[in-house]
A and B are shown apart, each in its own frame.
Chain A
Amino acid sequence: MVAAASIWYLFIADTAADNDVVGGVADLANGIGELPALVSDTSAYSSFWDFVVDDEGLGTILGHTWDHAQLVGTSMFFAVLIATALGILVHRVKALAGIVVGISSILLTIPSLALFSIFIPVSWIGIGDRGPLIALGLYSILPILRNTVTGLEEVDAAVVESAKGMGFSAFQRLRRIELPLAWPVILTGIRVAALLNVGIAAIAVLVGGSGLGVYINDGLTRYPNPGSVERMWTGVVFTILLALILDLIFTLIRKFTTPSGLR
């Protein structure tokens, strides 16, 4: 996740320079080459701790972490609803598979900063968390959709046949047989999407959104003034912590929602 988060950030800074979306980011891009050297400066570690505990305060940082989590959580909530519904649709109407999977694959190839900023001109979205929510949601659709389709397809045909033969209606079959059996695979898709989103959500700040991206952005803006590296570190470390906690939560969900006959 460290790698993912920092790579994403470098990528954003780059894109930002080209697109000129956020003023001043272009200058920062020059300093990025020196980042590794700064990171290896050991005195930074104690000052990082001071920054977290004294200067900024753990409470404030956790507040931003919570904002970050909410961005991910809210976008995921809608993404799960939409993607599983689409997955079920595609599973039923095989002809739609090409179009739906195609479109959601294309979504993933759109550079993230572009996808975050593209909604700014829309009147009811503008600057703030709404754009990032939509962008994160769109990014999550493909992994969840793909796993929903795979999960449903992997359900033993004989089991579906016998369910139909017993007199389950199409809906009962879906709810009582197919979805429970596909669930572990769908859940894996949700987990992958969620972890991916924890990283990407750091960009939200560039379009006026909230979350841990605030620290990374602040650090870059202030560089090379004192405290700038500590800020970047705070952003990265807490993003990782959030990802780890989320992963733990998914492990627990998996444990408690997988039907015992499948374990």
Chain B
Amino acid sequence: MTSTASSPIDPAPNQHSATGVEKPATMISLQGVTKTYDGSVIPAVDSLNLDIPEGEILVLVGPSGCGKSTTLRLINRMIEPTSGRIIFDGEDVTSVNPDLLRRRIGYVIQQIGLFPHQTIAQNIATVPRLLGWDKAKINARVTELLDVMGLPNDFKDRYPKELSGGQAQRVGVARALGSDPAVLLMDEPFGAIDPITRDRLQNEFLRLQSELKKTIVFVTHDIDEAIKMGDRIAILGEQSRIAQFDTPERILAYPIDDFVADFIGSGSTLKGLNFERVRDIDISTSFPVVSHDTSATEAKTVLDASPERSLLVLDAKSHPARWLNDKDLAATPADLLAAGVEVTSTLPMHATLHDALEELLMSNAGQATVVDNSGVYQGIVDIEVLADVLKGMRAAARRHYEVHVDSAGQS
């Protein structure tokens, strides 16, 4: 069971059923895989057990030299394991021709490695040509992939040296997608580019993946990239030992040990806020809210009954309109909409809690006002709400691991 850091070599499958968490089918399975390079005594990968779920991005992340690339290269047999088994789509990889195996697996390396003597179109057409597709089909595929990767069609006849780093990176991904393989192996594919381009490529790739639903093994040494890209993350220590294998949310909420905690670094709580959305939490607080046609005295009663220092006034369409405090109400204004301060910004339901935190820190009142798509008031997020949610996430993650360890003990 790879997701229990305490017993990473437990071979029992389907433990997740015990937790009620739906677990996708396994596409690639590494079973007790060890790789010791020639001329070395210490294995680069030591008895690794890893199940790679179908249709998800699994990120392998860990410090430099821990064996991430080695692990990846074992899957498409760029290197042969010293011992152990690797099952790909139900077959032991050592029983199939390695060249044929590799044509079924997209592979992106950090240095990209485009063929400099071939045009972009020829580069992208590499695997389809190896598979013997006919010209028209290859042509159509190249056009499609250029489009998918956001590259202009007239790039077809360019040569790799005529591309920028980011463009080359895209062509590298397009080439790996050439024959529409079900599985992609990506070794720091967005490594060698500036942070802004990198961020854009990551976003585009995630959008693409939401349609393609490929099985992707993604290697990085950057924990932030791992958190952003991964459906699941395997945090690896020396010799590719799995320290923790889980969703980014749970790893952030509950780092299993000091190694993981150190690796994800400070600010993991804040990063965790990116995974929760406002619509998924309880925002029906007892915050004092009144309609615009309420009298000032009535409003004052409401505010006095509440521990808050100001109340929110909604306009005729139930949109948040003004913040009024004690002093504003003491002047008994005839029209509540003319008193206090205006509500200048609101938060949509699909915003993340990270957005909410930013919003409430920026607002004068210390609250973020949540509205639905038509602008109708839904509730308030304040610092207590966030603290409660974080506490809940941590507790849930801990409970997950406790149940997990229990059920592993029973089996």
A162 touches which of B101, B103, B107 (Cβ 8 Å): B107
Interface set, chain A 149-179, CB cutoff 8 A to B: 156, 158-169, 172, 177
The verdict on A123 contacting chain B, using a C-beta distance below 8 Å, is: no
Chain A residues closer than 8 Å to B111, beta-carbon distance:
156, 158, 161
Interface size class of A (residues with CB under 8 A): 20 to 34
* Max chain B Cβ within 10 angstroms of own Cβ: one of A161, A166, A169, A172: A166
Interface membership of chain A positions 98-141, coded 1 if the CB is closer than 8 angstroms to chain B and 0 otherwise: 00000000000000000000000000000000000000000000
Q: What CA separation (Å) do A177 and B126 show in the bound complex?
A: 11
B155 within 8 Å of A (CB atoms): no
Point out the residues of chain A lying under 8 angstroms from B99, CB to CB: 167-169
| Contact partners of A260 in chain B: CB under 8 A | 117, 159
Q: In the bound complex, do residue A158 and residue B112 qualify as a contact, i.e. CB atoms below 8 Å apart?
A: yes
* Given A162-B107, A162-B113, A164-B102: A261 touches B118 (CB 8 Å cut-off): yes
A203 within 8 A of B: no
Q: Does B4 contact A (CB under 8 A)?
A: no
Q: How many A-B residue pairs have CB under 8 A?
A: 69
A115 to B122, CA, bound (A): 48
In the bound complex, residues from chain B placing their C-beta under 8 Å from that of A262 are 116-117
Find the residue from B99, B100, B114 having the highest chain A CB count within 10 A: B99
Q: A162 to nearest B CB, angstroms? A: 3
Q: Does B119 contact A (CB under 8 A)?
A: yes
Q: Would B102 and A166 count as touching, CB distance under 8 A?
A: yes
Q: In which size bucket is the chain B interface?
A: 20 to 34
* Chain A contacts for B116, CB-based, 8 A: 156, 159, 181, 259, 261-262
Residues of the A chain whose Cβ atoms lie less than 8 Å from the Cβ of B161: 261
Task: Please measure, in the bound complex, the distance between the C-alpha atom of A161 and the C-alpha atom of B119, giving whole angstroms.
Answer: 18
Decide yes or no whether B241 CB sits under 8 A from chain A.
Answer: no
Contact A163-B112, Cβ < 8 Å, known A168-B99, A261-B160: no
Q: Is the CB of B78 within 8 A of A165?
A: yes
Nearest CB of B to A39, in Å: 48
Could you say which of B103, B114, B160 contacts A167, with CB atoms under 8 Å apart? B103
Q: Contacts of B78 on A, CB cut-off 8 Å?
A: 161, 164-165
- The smallest C-beta distance from A92 to any residue of chain B, in angstroms, reads 17
Scan residues 21-37 of chain A and give those whose CB is less than 8 A from a CB of chain B: none
Expressed in whole angstroms, the minimum distance between the Cβ of B406 and any Cβ of chain A is: 42
Which residue numbers of A lie inside 8 Å of B, CB to CB? 156, 158-169, 172, 177, 180-181, 259-262
> Measuring CB to CB, which residues of chain B are less than 8 angstroms from any residue of chain A?
76, 78, 99-103, 107, 109, 111-119, 126-127, 130, 159-161, 172, 175
Which 9 A/B pairs are nearest by Cβ-Cβ distance?
A162-B113, A167-B103, A259-B117, A158-B111, A261-B159, A165-B107, A158-B113, A167-B102, A261-B117
Apart from the given pairs A159-B115, A162-B115, 14 other A-B contacts in the complex at a CB distance below 8 Å: A156-B111, A159-B113, A163-B115, A164-B102, A165-B76, A165-B107, A166-B107, A166-B127, A167-B127, A168-B99, A168-B130, A177-B115, A261-B116, A262-B117
